[in-house]
Structure formats: structure tokens, C-alpha cells
A and B are shown apart, each in its own frame.
Chain A
Amino acid sequence: MSARLPQPNRLDHGGIINRDRPVTFTFDRRVYQGFEGDSLASALLANGVKLFGRSFKYHRPRGILGAGPEEPNALVEVDRGPADRDPNHRATMLEIYEGLETFSQNHIGPLNMDLMEVNDLFSRFLPAGFYYKTFFFGGLQAWYRLYEPIIRRAAGLGRPPLAADPHHYDKIYTHADTLVVGGGIAGLTTALSLAKAGQSVVVCEERDRMGGSALWQGETFNGETGAAYIAHMCREIEAAGGRLLPRTTVFGVYDAGTFGAVERCHDHLTKADRAPHTARMKYHRIQAKAVVYATGAIERSVGFNGNDRPGVMLASAGHTFLGKYGVRVGERVSLFTTHDGGYGTAAAFSAAGAEVTVLDARTDAADVSIDGVRVIKGVYAGQAHGRMGVRRVDYDGASSGSLDADALLVAGGWNPAVHLTSHTTDRRQSKPVYDAELLAFVPPELVDQEAAAGSVTGAMSTADCLATAQAAGKKLGGKKIELPTVDQALPVSKPMEMWAVPGAGDAAFLDMQNDATVKDVKLAAQEGFKSVEHMKRYTTLGMATDQGKTANVTGLALLAAATGRDIAQVGTTTFRPPYTPIPIGVLAGHHRQRDYAPFRYSPVHAWAEDNGATFMEAGLWMRPAYYTAPGDKDWLDSAVRETRATRGSLGITDVSTLGKIDIQGPDAAEFLNRLYTNGWKTLPVGKARYGLMLREDGLVFDDGTTSRLGENHYYMTTTTAHAAAVMTHMEFMHQSAWPDLAVAFASVTDQWGALALAGPNARACLAKLFPEVDVSNDGLPFMGVIETQWQGYTARLFRISFSGELAYEVAVPADIFDAFWQAALQAGAEWKITPYGLEALNIMRIEKGHVTGAELDGRVSMDDVGLGKMVSSKKDFVGRAMSEREAFSDPDRAKMVGLVAAKPGDKIIGGGIVFDSAEGPFDYTTMLGYVTSVAQYSPLKDRAIALAFIKNAADWHGKTLYVVSHVHGKSIMEVRAESPHFYDPNNEKVMA
């Protein structure tokens, strides 16, 4: 064990820390020691550290305000190397461990002499609305040159990590009958009641252990200490099958009993203690039939000048550091209170040896006598002095004076933590309701599947909290349990209404993180921002990472006062998930980088990898783009070699990725008739037909061939890109519009592997593979289909062509596709069979003028792509009515055309805009159309060719046009327009 270092503010007893386990850590490179169970805040306070950071806007020195998740000031960075640098941890929630290295944020130079503090001196020039107003002052140029660089430098909290997050994150579905949010004594009591009734219960507690303030407040339960009572309640819950999740924040409530929660599994452990390959955090997507909000309450401060000084903190925070961690935050303590609750804290500090003066805002407060505590009634804290830590407190009111103090605790009343109850509008209103008696917002009326327990309901004493827990249990079908007798109960009372003291101005802070002050709210009201939502945006109050947990209610109370309205009339802003900040990585889980989405591989993927393929993504599929052979200079060289080999003799390509849909049933033909523009009733068995599908709005959706395999059996292919969408479309039309059609269909894309043989020797190769089958032009004519066998397996032979060559597609079951592919390579060897990829396919289909997704981009009509004749006028089909829209027959519509580069070596750039003059102007007033697909080299034309859409396309055939790419410095490319069917326009080759 390392040597013990002194901790000057640590009492020698008290707290629920483990004093046998000292923990050494650093803050801004200085070494400190605390104990196991400490938060960074409590450990640093034990060491006398008061200054934790700088505020966002004015860079004012800031200390600790709270002791929990509400903390606005003490944001620190945990540094475990450049990839693992984690900013904006709240020091109050960060558990220390051996070797933890932390840094303060938001300052230039040392923390105690931040160069940006000059902002504070100019604070009168940075009032609310500063950012909006600068736009009007000096104009945009002033913004760019003067203001923005300064603000950029000053803005931002902490430094982001510089490399990919090295951690694992898990996602889990967690189910429960009832979710209990908050493991304080109320939440646990309700959970026990429900668990005993046989419900499955999950309790999520944000802190490191169950129990909340009952653990350390000093109250006893049936004579037991709080810690002992909580411990046996936890055992009982677990014995009844309940699940307790500490370090788990429920950050959001969603419809129908869905909750988001993040469990922190690693952040409190040394690296050595983190089990390898386990998750740093787990995202629980909790599905629960019912929920108990036992989220507690957050204390609020009061607006007075200097209330942000280091050493000014919430009374509950001071009490927590004392009771939970044995840390006394001051020796001479001033305690400014508006209610009886302050006296419990005063008594605890006095008992711990501090000299305490209570400034009670109420003149009519009951007399309370506590040993060693001086009480001044009817006064308020008017000003706290001490830039780096409180030294003196001026009070005013019924009497005035000045107190020496090294800590100023503020008890301004409690705000129930209603945030989660307002996340959802599921079956009820979301807005919290203002209770003018309690001077606080409480949850709205909850539905049957919800209950609230503890101080979130507005209950103040522990006994009242327990009663609400009992009631919550009863509401949700729990078993009645004996409530404990609470002794040594802390005093409570409703607060006196005091949101800001008289004279509070631009140094009286409400939102400490965003530096919004009492004066800012008044200014907002003065300038007409009377809606709470407008005030929030104008002052930025509540818009920091803490979402104004300690600021919002006070801010809107002041807005109400400034505009002469009731607080209930003003209402609250909307609380949104997440309750506290969560790392984005935990929402992504394992869905990142390579695992973001699955990959789909063809059955011959491994063969392609071994044979020089370079792949490209097509949806989820990995498809060979080209195969690099010895001597190929680049991808285009490979693609052109593959094209020449195919056109000259024989090529083979893998078309397994095309969508394949098996359609069966007596109404199958009728179904196809309604899906496609062309007719299907006359297609005989053993024939394929090219089909075009429209969307219901009349634009082209997809194309492909469908073959009739049997009387009531069809086999449809779709483009790779639209396979899923076509399937979904067919399901929608069948189910929503024509459920009476007797047809069934299933995607069989993964069940069949398919290859295409193309080129003049394709038939000879196919005959060799299927010696029993007559594949002659008579036996298997163009668009013919034969179902046969290959080595005992079904094989389907289709005489279809996408390349413009004599070509066949052969489909066999995916399991044997690799073997069949090898057999085809062997059979084709004598014709130097050449595998070709998507790039060669692209060259060939552009030469042939076939369209793909680049052309069918959801904006083109049948006529635009030259397929207007493919309409059967005798029937109805999807998109028919809308395809007759007038605009579709506008002669000005851009239609497909072929473009050829003026000379070899010239490029055509995809996406370029087409004009009829090289002179310009090159804008929308003169543009004729745009380029959709480019073959950078067409062996047929010995230069680049392209497909494009231009107005009056046919009129331009044979004429010179210009393609201009605005994203390539307006380079101008001269081209000649012609028919898009460059290659074999009369289909002599495919029919041969």
C-alpha cells in the first residue's frame, strides 16, 4: 500500500468510504489521495481544492455547486491517451481509482490565472443575446473577421478525443414487469413491494450504490442505521427476484413502456481491473409494463451576487460531502436558507466542529436552538466575496452585516426531478405541473402504468417519501409492506418564496454552466422574450450540458415576476432525453466501422479474391469491379481487356447478386400484369420477358426479366440495387390493394447462384456444360428458358443478354454454384474464357444503351428512357393512371441520348451538365440536360462514351454538344450526340 498523504478537510470518522483503501490520483498533474468510495469532487475537496474549472462564457473561477448529476461547474477531462480522452465528466459523478488522471477544462494557461478571464471584465458587453446581436453589428464581415475567431477559441467544453474510441459498447434488451428509476429509499421500498407480489422488477440507480441519501443522512430506520436498513432491503429485493443495476442512468422515456438506460461498467475501475473484452458501457433498451419514477429532487440555489464563487455550494451538497464522504467543506460556514431544511445541515456541520451561522430569510422562522449555531433571521446573502474561494459574506435584510466564511451553503428549496416524467406524451400531457404551495413543479397526472415515489412527488420528509412509495406500490399491484419507524428525522418545511435576493444583478448566476444571470433573464423580459422557450434561447439558460438542472425553475420564476405572470402561466421548457449526457458510442454499440452493416458475399467471392478481383460495394453486396491480370496498367486497362475478350470470344461474370423472386399461384400472371407495364398473359412456359415497373406516381421504378417456368410458376429478377425495394413493393401491392389474388412469392436471391456467359462462343461453351440439352438457336432461342439438371441439381438456362452479346444466364443452387463456376471456367478454357467485373459490364451495357440505377433515378418516365412502347393499353397496372400526366409528354422533357467524346483520350465527366454552346453562360437557363453514365473508354468507339438525358434528345443526334463539369473547374468537353444504342442496334448478335 502506498504511503498515506494528508487530506486536510477529511474528518477522522464518518462517511461511507473505505478508509482502509487509499486511492492516489492526479488533477492537473498534481498528486492527491482520497479513499475508495470517493468521487473526484469529494476527494479534491478533502484535499482543500476549491477551484475546479472555469465557466463557459466569462471564464469565471468555479468550484463545486452540487454533489450529484446536477453539477454544472466541475466538468473535468479524464485522460488515458489521445484516443481515450474523455471530456466533460462531472467531478461529482466520477469515482476515483488508483492512477486516475484528470484535468480541468475551459482555460488557457493555468487554471488559477486563465487568460480568457478577461471575458469576465467585459461581461457587460456580453449580455444575453450577444451572439444574435453581433450579426447586426458591423455586418457579416465583422462576424467573420473579428467575432467568430474569438468566439471559436473560447467556445467548446473540453477537448475531443483524437482517435477512434478503443472501447467496446454493448446493447441489451432488458425486460421487466416494472422499472424503478432511482434506487433511493423510496424506489427501493416500492421495488420491494412489487417484487414481493411476484413482479419482475429492475431498479436503475445512477450512483455507485443503492440507497441515496438514506445511506448517510443520519436518520435511523427501526433503530438501524440507514446503510444497514438499505442493505437488507436490497437483499430482500434480490431474494424476491428483483434486479438492482447501480451506475445505471435511465436517460430517456419513450412510447409504450420503452426506456433507454446506460450502465457504466468500467469507468470506476483501473485498467487492470477491467475484464478484457467486456463492455465499457451497456445500453439497456428496457421494455417494462410499468414504471416507478423515484428520481428524487434537486436542490436549488438563490440568485445573489457572487453566488458562483468557489466555496458557495448547495446545502445538500455540503451535507452530502460531510455525511457520505466525511469531508468538511469549511470551518467557518455561512448557511443561507429559506426553509427549515437548512437547520439539519447546520446541526451536522456544527457537530463536525464547524462554526456555523444561519442566515434565515424568514423573519417569522420558528426558534431553533442548535449547539454552536448562530441564527440571524430575516436576512439573505447579498454578496459573496473571494475570487478563488469564499472569504466573506455580506448579508442584508432585517439587519445587515458581514461574516468571515470559508464556505457558504445555500438552501433555496427543492425541485423534484420531474425530467423523465415529461419525456413522453404517451397517453397524457408531458408538462410538469406547478404546485404553488410547494413552490415547485411536480409530475403531471400519471397514467395507470406509471407511479411516482419519494421526493419527486414533492414529499419532503423521509416518512412522507416512504408513504408515497407505499402508495406507488399499491397502485401498481404491489404487496403491502411494513414501513419502518424513522427516528432522528431531519427537519423539513416548505420554503419561503425567494428566487433572487433584492439587488441581484449581473453577478447573480442562475445557469452556472452557460453563465446566464438574473440580469439576463430580466433583460430578456424587457426585450420582449416573454415565452419561456424564447427566454431560454435568448439567454441560453438551460442549454448547457446539464440542461439547467439547477437553473431552469429559478429562471422561469424570475421571468414570471418580470412579466407580471404566475409561474404556472409561464410554464416550463421541454425536457428532452438524455437526462444526463451519454457517449454516442454506447448508442452505436458494435454497429461501427466494419460492423456498421453486414456484408453480403457471392458464393464465388473467395474465388474472385484469389483471382485478382477488386471489389466494389453494391448495396450490402461486394461485387468484383475488375480482375487485374498481369500487364494491366490500371482498372480501365483491366476493364477494357475484359470487354474485348468478351466481345471477341467469351466472357463470364457473376450475377448472383441480382434480386430473384419466386412467384407461384393461379393468379401469378394476373399479378405480374398489374405490376409491370407490359402484358404477361401471353407469355408461354419456357419463355422470359423483359419487364418495366412503375411507381404508382408514374415514374420508372425498376426493370428486369421474368421467366415462366411452369403453368403457375414465375421467376423474377430485379436489379441488385432495388431487390429489397421491389420485394417490399410487391408485398404492399398484394396485401394492401389486391389481397384477393391467389399468389405467393418469396425472395430466393440467396438460394440461387447465377453466372452469365457472353460472347460469340457462349453457345459452344453452354453446349459443353449441358451436352444433353439442345441449346441451338431453335432449341433455346432469344428469351428462351430451359429448366434442366447439372450433375443432379436443378439448373435454369436463360437466353438473355445485358452485354449486347449472344449471352446466357445459368442459375444453380447457391450451394453448388462454386463448383459450377469452376466447371464453366474449365469448359470455356478453349475459348480463353475471361471473367469480367462490373466495370466491363458497365462499358458493354452503355455501348448497348441499357439503363441501370444511374438512369432509373426516380425522376424518369417510360418515354424518357425510350421504353414508352412497353405499355399494354389493354390493362391496368401500377402507375398507369399517373403515367398519363401531361408533364410526362412535354416535348421539353429530357430524354436519353448517347454521347461520344470528340476525340480519343478526351474524358467525359459523369454528372456533367450538357450545353449546346461552348461559350456559356453555363447555368440552368441554358442547360439541355445531364450525364448519367460514362464509359471512360469504349473499344467500339475508341474513345469515351456516355448516356445522358437532354431536351429534344432526338433532334440533337449527329450534332455537337458540350459537357461542362462545374465541380471540375468548369472544364468543357466536346461531344457528339447520337442514339444511345451504339452497339448492335438491331439485336443481330443477341438473336444469333
Chain B
Amino acid sequence: MLIFCPHCGMRPSEEFTPKGLAEAPRPALGGDDRPEDDAWQDYLHTRTNKAGQTNEYFHHSLGCRRWIVVHRNTLTHEVTGSTMASEFWQNQQQAQDWEAGQ
């Protein structure tokens, strides 16, 4: 299997370490969050494990050491692309804002 790293290009999957689904961003720094807050539950525990398009964290641990989010279809194994983790949640936010504005 090959994984596309936005920094290094197509690289063999052995160079990467998976972490799991990127389904919710880390809750914003606050101060009085409680463990039972939905945002924390979603970030830490809730995984939809859906059949279809997913976003997964991979670490290019034996390469550039960037964290990336790989967009993969679990039904077809098709990898449609990757985003730097550092840009992923911002992009998501922008997309949401854009949709909300429509």
C-alpha cells in the first residue's frame, strides 16, 4: 500500500504509523471543561467506524515526521488524498463556515 504525504509524495505504508480516525478536533483550550463533556467524549472515545469515506491520522514516522490526515474509503480502499494535520481542522472549519454562509 502507498500513502501520499503532502510533504514527501507517495511513500510505502511501512514508513507511516497509524493513529486512528480523525473525527473530532481537540476541544479548544478552555479551563472548566468536564470529563463528561460531549466534546471530550467525541475527541477521545466516539468513533463512527463508518463504511465509506473516512479521515485517518497517520504519522510519517520514518519520513518527514509530519502528522497527516489520509482520506480513505473503507469500502473500496481508495485513497483520495491527504492533508497536513496542521491544516486539516482549519480546512474543516472553513468548509463548515462556508456551508453555513450558503
Contacts and interface: CB of A to CB of B under 8 A. Distances in A.
A885 interface: yes
A426 B77 contact: yes
A225 interface: no
A593 interface: no
Q: Which of the listed residues B27, B76, B88 has the most CB atoms from chain A within 10 Å of its own CB?
A: B76
B85 to A, nearest CB: 4
Contact of B29 (A258, A426, A876): A876
Nearest to B73: A427
A651 B87 CA distance: 50
A697 B30 CA distance: 16
B27 A881 contact: yes
A739 B87 contact: yes
Given A426-B78, A427-B78, A881-B34, A736 B89 contact: yes
A574 B66 CA distance: 37
A114 B84 CA distance: 65
A982 interface: no
B13 to A, nearest CB: 8
A732 B34 contact: no
A425 interface: yes
B1 interface: yes
Interface stretch (A249-257, A310-318, A702-710, A851-859): A249-257
B2 A736 contact: no
A424 interface: yes
A697 B40 CA distance: 9
B21 interface: no
B77 A736 contact: no
B88 A736 contact: yes
Contacts of B97: none
B44 interface: yes
A731 interface: yes
B37 interface: yes
Interface string A668-706: 000000100000000000000000000011100000000
A366 interface: no
A224 B20 CA distance: 59
B81 to A, nearest CB: 13
A882 interface: yes
Contacts of B77: 255-256, 424-427
A735 interface: yes
Interface string A734-759: 11110100000000000000000000
A635 B1 CA distance: 48
Nearest to B78: A427
Nearest to A736: B85
Interface string B66-79: 11000000011111
A884 B34 contact: yes
Interface in B12-43: 12, 17, 19, 22, 25-27, 29-31, 33-35, 37, 40, 43
B31 A287 contact: no
A235 B69 CA distance: 46
B2 A426 contact: no
B86 interface: yes
A428 interface: yes
Contacts of B29: 674, 876
Contact of A876 (B31, B76, B79, B84): B31
Nearest to A737: B26
Contact of A732 (B19, B33, B35, B89): B19
Interface size class of B (residues with CB under 8 A): 35 or more
B61 interface: yes
B10 to A, nearest CB: 9
Given A255-B1, A876-B29, A884-B35, A731 B65 contact: yes
Interface string B42-73: 01100000000000010101000111000000
B95 to A, nearest CB: 17
A258 B2 CA distance: 8
A859 B14 CA distance: 30
Given A698-B35, A876-B30, A735 B2 contact: no
B76 A427 contact: yes
A736 B87 contact: no
Given A256-B1, A876-B30, A881-B34, A736 B67 contact: yes
A697 B44 contact: yes
A728 interface: yes
A735 B66 contact: yes
Contact of B33 (A255, A739, A881): A881
A767 B31 CA distance: 46
Contact of A257 (B2, B30, B75): B2
A409 B66 CA distance: 62
A857 B85 CA distance: 29
Contacts of A881: 27, 33-35, 37, 40
A497 to B, nearest CB: 35
Contacts of A733: 26
Nearest to B65: A731
Contacts of B34: 881, 884
Contact of B59 (A258, A287, A428, A732): A732
A731 B58 CA distance: 12
Given A257-B2, A881-B27, A731 B59 contact: yes
A256 B44 contact: no
Contacts of A875: 31
A716 to B, nearest CB: 16
Contacts of A425: 75-77
Contacts of B17: 728
A256 B12 CA distance: 10
B45 to A, nearest CB: 9
Nearest to B36: A885
B65 A882 contact: no
Nearest to B69: A736
Contacts of A696: 26, 43-44
Contact of A731 (B30, B35, B67): B67
A927 B7 CA distance: 53
B67 A428 contact: no
Contacts of A254: 1
B67 to A, nearest CB: 4
Contact of B35 (A735, A739, A876, A885): A885
Given A255-B1, A425-B76, A736 B40 contact: no
B1 to A, nearest CB: 4
A735 B1 contact: no
A337 B51 CA distance: 47
Nearest to A429: B76
Interface string A418-434: 00000011111000000
B2 A256 contact: yes
A882 B40 contact: yes
B28 to A, nearest CB: 9
Interface in A346-393: none
B12 A737 contact: no
Contacts of B61: 728
A697 B44 CA distance: 7
Q: Which of the listed residues A173, A258, A674 has the most CB atoms from chain B within 10 Å of its own CB?
A: A258
Interface in A937-958: none
Given A427-B78, A882-B40, A736 B35 contact: no
Interface of B: 1-2, 12, 17, 19, 22, 25-27, 29-31, 33-35, 37, 40, 43-44, 57, 59, 61, 65-67, 75-79, 84-90
Given A254-B1, A739-B85, 11 more contacts: A255-B2, A287-B12, A425-B76, A426-B77, A427-B77, A698-B35, A731-B66, A732-B67, A737-B25, A881-B33, A882-B44
Closest A-B pairs by Cβ, 9 of them: A739-B86, A737-B26, A255-B1, A881-B33, A736-B85, A876-B29, A735-B67, A256-B2, A735-B86
Interface of A: 173, 254-258, 285, 287, 424-428, 674, 696-698, 728, 731-737, 739, 875-876, 880-882, 884-886
18 contacts: A173-B12, A258-B2, A258-B12, A285-B12, A287-B2, A425-B76, A427-B78, A674-B29, A698-B35, A731-B65, A732-B59, A733-B26, A736-B22, A876-B29, A881-B34, A881-B40, A882-B44, A884-B34
